[in-house]
Structure 1
Amino acid sequence: MATSTHPTTAADHGPPSVLRRMWVWAAAHAVDDFYQGLVPASVPYFVLERNYSYVAASGLTLAATLGSSLPQPPIGVAVDRLRLPRLAAAGVLLAGAGFALSGTAGSYALVWLLLLLSGGGVAMFHPAAGKAAREAAGDSVTGMSVFAAGGSVGFFLAPVLATPALVAWGAAGTVVFLPPAVLVAFVLARNARRARDGVAAAAGPAHWRPFAVLTAISVVRSAVFSAVATFIGLYWIRHLDASQPMAGAALACFLGGGVAGTLLGGRLADRIGLVRTVQLGALLVTPMLVGLRLAPGALLPLPFAVLAGLTLNVPFAVVVRLGQDYLPGRPGTAAGVTLGLSVSAGGLLTPVFGLAADAHGPQAVFTLLCFVPALAYALGLFLTPPPERST
């Protein structure tokens, strides 16, 4: 009898241990991407308080985007070669400190530099955290989806929490957002000190061709996500004649659907496979965007906003995991590209949709977006299943 109960007890203790480690990394990812979301949420307050021009305002967002995108691939290479267990903790601290101090800076140049450094902190976090999260998740795509969903939650919470603080204290209110970075950096640094370096890296050749296709899919997905997040409020206000609170509700529905889609994608991938999940997400998002564009009134499009966010984010965590499978032995590099560079590159394409909005209104953006996911689906047809991992 004793021999029959012991295996059950051991099995019961295994999965919760992995899940606990994933929640630590998910919380850290939420805080890190929280600072990414705070930058666009705070820009209007810089404009109103300091009379920045629209060009100067866009420059602040550009500073954070450049800081968070360009360094990620080389940082990923460094993480794979040198391990750097405390880099994620340092990245979160820099992301938080740069943003927190930006509101107290006097000159525009100093504000720009601090936001650039904040973006650099984000760039430091993603490759290191992506590698560590993969080690914690093992073969579970669901585990990686928990990590990825943390970033979606952080980005979702940023405008919700930024508004009352910045309304109350103005741009200088950015300093109140420093404590989460300090706390998370402490926890990650402590975990890194206790962690063992005995995790074996996956072996095998790098498969660059499917990885390049996957990166292109990630850029397309990110471009659609950024365009919807940027213009959905204006679509509700200027095309659907809705109130500002209703426009905010539409954005919340879209971002909330994205969190759910990230978690759902992990579970789907564990059941039907990584490649099929990427293809399915690209296929299903089109009818949701069509419904969002064609539904009349301010209420009927809301369910489609939820479903568009959900289907668009189904491949999110899967792309990160699949990229690491294509580049075995280079999980930091893969995460730096799929989780960092390609996402930021997609955001840099948003001004293209802005030209359509200037010419024909925000409804033109959503008309165009109905066709863009077809490119991601077409690219997905060229993906091949990753080879079996060996250690």
Structure 2
Amino acid sequence: MPLRSAAGAPVVPASAAPVFAPGRAAAEEVPRPVPGSDNLPGIVKPLPAEWFVRRDSNAEMRWDALRDADGKAAVGRHVPVERFFVRNHTSTPLIDPVGWRLRLFGSGLHGAPPPERALGFGLDDLRALPATRIDALIECAGNGRSYFDRQQGERAPGTPWTLGSIGSASWRGVRLAEVLRAAGLTDRAVDVLPTGLDPDYVVDGTNYGPVRRPLPIAKALDDALLAYEMNGAPLTPDHGAPVRLVVPGWVGIASIKWVGSIEVADHPLHSPWNTDFYRMFGPGHPPGGGPALTTQVVKSAFELAEGARLTAGREHRLHGRSWSGTAPVRLVEVSTDGGRSWRRAELAEEPRAAGWTRWSVDWRPERPGRYELRARATDRGGATQPEWAAFNREGYLFGAVVAHPVTVL
């Protein structure tokens, strides 16, 4: 009898249908920028300057773009796909959704299929399984990295993100747990290793292969989602089409884009993305590095450009958003005098786990001059943004209060 998924859809061997191999797919199918367009090399969608800050092969969201010229909200709880930030280690591959298969293999499955005998789920097979919709943030582990240098005088290499390598969306797909069980998950499974179909990551002559990072089976079975829709529409190439992983609350590297295979093992798995990268190195950390990064820290951002010009003697409504990877936000406080005094902001909605909370506060500056605005959040688990963030060599998880300069005229 042919193997079938939990919903009765056939599960075919991966060799029965074409799958774009990671390196070859990238070399043959990565789009080239159109002369005169707003694209970056290797990114498909336009990147207008009013929405994005270009950073090498990445595009950071502008926080002030969440408000229109009249100060009204231009973006709600979910960031539209066209405005969503882009984090690529290499380039965006174009993958044929008809020929795509998700390959599952390994010692944590019944029969322990090797890679060459992997079980394959097509997009229709995933859609035949029970669908789940979640709201979740995707946030790069290096979000806020530039503030280690700007505020603390400790420079970290890597993309100099401010606070815009984050986005919130409504994701629809199938729970990773459903697919693992349909593939024959055993109670011996320890780790799963999703691997993307993006180009190999090569740095200083070292080829690290396609992006891949192990996920403990407990998290895989908890809330991880294999998403095929974003904000009610099929995924687009820059955001992981045809299928990506969404791991709520964890650093963005866990939410592998363009998933092509998943190894399920009865022992711990490793890749450069949980050994060489995405761990804490440097002063105060173990000589071989700390544990692989998981949950995000508490952060806050103003929906206002740095250096914005405001009018003296007039009341201004300041808006922003706060979030945490471990618990819903409970409290947001704002300072308009560089941190000398604080007052409570008004929350726009009931805070939720794995999402950000919008807030606002009124401010009437009477005198012209330069001011530093600050916002700090506390989540329901008791975590509060500190004044100073412990440094690490790669600049991960900056969670300190950010000084936001404005000028009053």
Using the size of structure 1 for normalisation, the TM-score is: 0.24
More helix by share: 1
Question: Bigger relative contact order, structure 1 or 2, given CA contacts below 8 A and separation 6+?
Answer: 1
Rg (Cα) greater in structure:
2
More strand by share: 2
